[in-house]
């Protein structure tokens, strides 16, 4: 767009050559500017015909001379060019399930005239847009539009642009940054319980809140919309596995549900029992708010055992049934002999042999005081 030529003037006097001046001459080729951002620069005499999408040294080619943009001394393109800017909060966000218009921040946006329309393009999806003022444009989003396009989105950053058409010319607004994005989000996918939902709201730009039984945005909620964690609901145990284990304990039980707390420490400090005896939380398998694993201790007696869990004075609701403690017994082993080298398939019969997890079940044979582990199949 620019070229620099060094010019020198010399004079011959008394048969000697003297340099009178030597300086650089900058030549501007305005027609090379393909966008307002590329056309305008500091101390650049070129101007941008905003409606024509043309860079020129004068306003003569412009359809409307009032839209001929030039920067004043010491400024750059950001002072004049229409631009798509970053969000004042630092991040553009958009819920996918509801009809909520997306407001984008702009600079120097011109008011549309007849035959001149703005559009927002979000990840290739074109949305009609409404000019509000030179600093704002509103993208129209219909209910569930992004939810249909991006099912199970959770949270997903996608590219956003603003375009406009006029006189059969398509324009794309330059960005103040290299690229801009909007993060699509679905509160239901991001949180399954109250505590997790409130944490999503606290630690992100997402406008989620608790709506009785699920995490929603306010427009989706017909119940009381809770945005602060002052009155969390009770934990809920929905299911657990296995449902059988030996009386002696040692069974690792995986418990699934909601609102078990956001840290393992909160679970460690809880009052967790199964059948009135402690079930010790294990860090392995812990998923904040949704799942924990605990190891049973000695029940002493057989029978049905109920879970009891209290976290921060909140007593859990148990929907997952009961755990049964049994005392496995062996009634027969066949064959009763085999080679010392091993390899004999031994069939063990009895009651309660299916208790616990398979990984916790061990069968061993004692020979002359030594234990030999059998592979279970």
Cβ-contact 96, 153 below 8 angstroms:
yes
| Alpha carbon distance 266, 69 (integer Å) | 61
Q: CB atoms < 10 A from the CB of 348, how many?
A: 14
| Alpha carbon distance 251, 240 (integer Å) | 12
C-alpha closest to that of 116 among 39, 53, 33? 53
Question: What digits encode the pLDDT tens for the residues 156-174?
Answer: 999 999 988 876 778 888 8
| 23-27, 98-102, 251-255, 359-363 — most confident range | 251-255
Lowest mean pLDDT among 24-33, 244-253, 344-353: 24-33
Q: Domain 83-185 is in which class?
A: mainly beta
Percent of the chain with pLDDT over 90: 30
Task: Residues 236-326: name the CATH superfamily.
Answer: Immunoglobulins (2.60.40.10)
Q: The tokens of 316 are what?
A: 């859990």
Question: What digits encode the pLDDT tens for the residues 240-268?
Answer: 999 999 999 999 999 998 888 778 888 88
C-alpha closest to that of 299 among 331, 319, 327? 327
Cβ-contact 267, 281 below 8 angstroms:
yes
DSSP state of 122: E
The mean predicted confidence, pLDDT, of the chain is 82
Q: Please, where are the H alpha helices in the chain?
A: 36-39, 145-149, 187-190, 194-202, 264-268
User: Can you tell me the mean pLDDT for 355-373?
Assistant: 62
Give, in degrees to the nearest 5, the angle at Cα 251 between 247 and 253.
125
Q: Return the HEC string of 48-83.
A: EECCCCEEECCCCCCCCHHHEECCCCCCCHHHCCCE
Ordered by start, the domain boundaries in the chain are 2-79, 83-185, 187-220, 236-326, 329-374
- pLDDT band for position 120 (cuts 50, 70, 90): very high
Which H helix or E strand runs over 97?
none
| Alpha carbon distance 83, 116 (integer Å) | 17
Spatial CB neighbours of 238, under 8 Å, sequence gap ≥ 6: 256, 257, 258, 319, 320
Cβ-contact 364, 371 below 8 angstroms:
yes
Percent of the chain with pLDDT over 70: 83
Whether the pLDDT of residue 359 is over 60: the answer is no
The answer to whether the 83-185 and 236-326 domains have the same CATH topology is yes
Look at the chain and count its residues: 377
Task: Name residue 5's beta-bridge partners.
Answer: 25
């Amino acid at each position: 767009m620019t070229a620099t030529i060094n010019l020198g003037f010399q004079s011959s006097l008394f048969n000697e050559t003297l340099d009178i001046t030597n300086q650089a001459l900058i030549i501007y080729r305005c027609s090379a500017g393909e966008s307002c951002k590329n056309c305008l620069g500091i101390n650049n005499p070129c101007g941008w015909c905003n409606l024509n999408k043309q860079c020129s040294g004068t306003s003569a080619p412009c359809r409307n001379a009032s839209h001929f943009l030039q920067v004043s001394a010491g400024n750059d393109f950001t002072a004049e060019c229409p631009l798509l800017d970053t969000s004042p909060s630092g991040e553009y966000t958009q819920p996918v399930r509801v009809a909520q218009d997306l407001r984008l921040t702009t600079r120097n946006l011109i008011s549309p005239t007849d035959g001149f329309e703005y559009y927002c393009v979000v990840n290739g999806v074109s949305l009609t847009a409404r000019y509000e003022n030179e600093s704002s444009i509103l993208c129209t989003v219909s209910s569930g539009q992004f939810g249909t396009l991006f099912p199970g989105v959770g949270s997903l950053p996608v590219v956003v642009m603003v375009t406009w058409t006029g006189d059969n010319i398509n324009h794309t607004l330059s960005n103040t940054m290299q690229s801009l994005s909007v993060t699509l989000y679905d509160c239901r996918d991001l949180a399954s319980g109250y505590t997790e939902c409130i944490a999503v709201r606290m630690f992100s730009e997402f406008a989620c809140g608790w709506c009785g039984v699920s995490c929603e945005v306010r427009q989706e909620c017909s119940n009381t919309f809770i945005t602060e964690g002052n009155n969390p609901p009770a934990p809920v145990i929905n299911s657990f596995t296995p449902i059988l284990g030996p009386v002696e304990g040692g069974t690792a039980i995986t418990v699934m549900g909601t609102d078990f707390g956001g840290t393992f420490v909160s679970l460690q400090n809880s009052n967790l029992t199964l059948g009135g005896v402690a079930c010790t939380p294990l860090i392995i398998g812990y998923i904040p708010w949704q799942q924990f694993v605990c190891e049973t201790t000695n029940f002493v007696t057989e029978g049905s055992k109920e879970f009891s869990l209290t976290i921060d004075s909140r007593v859990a609701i148990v929907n997952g049934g009961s755990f049964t403690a049994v005392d496995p017994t062996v009634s027969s082993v066949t064959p009763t002999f085999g080679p010392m080298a091993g390899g004999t398939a031994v069939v063990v019969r009895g009651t309660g042999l299916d208790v616990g997890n398979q990984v916790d079940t061990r069968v061993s044979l004692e020979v002359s005081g030594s234990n030999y582990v059998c592979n279970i199949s």
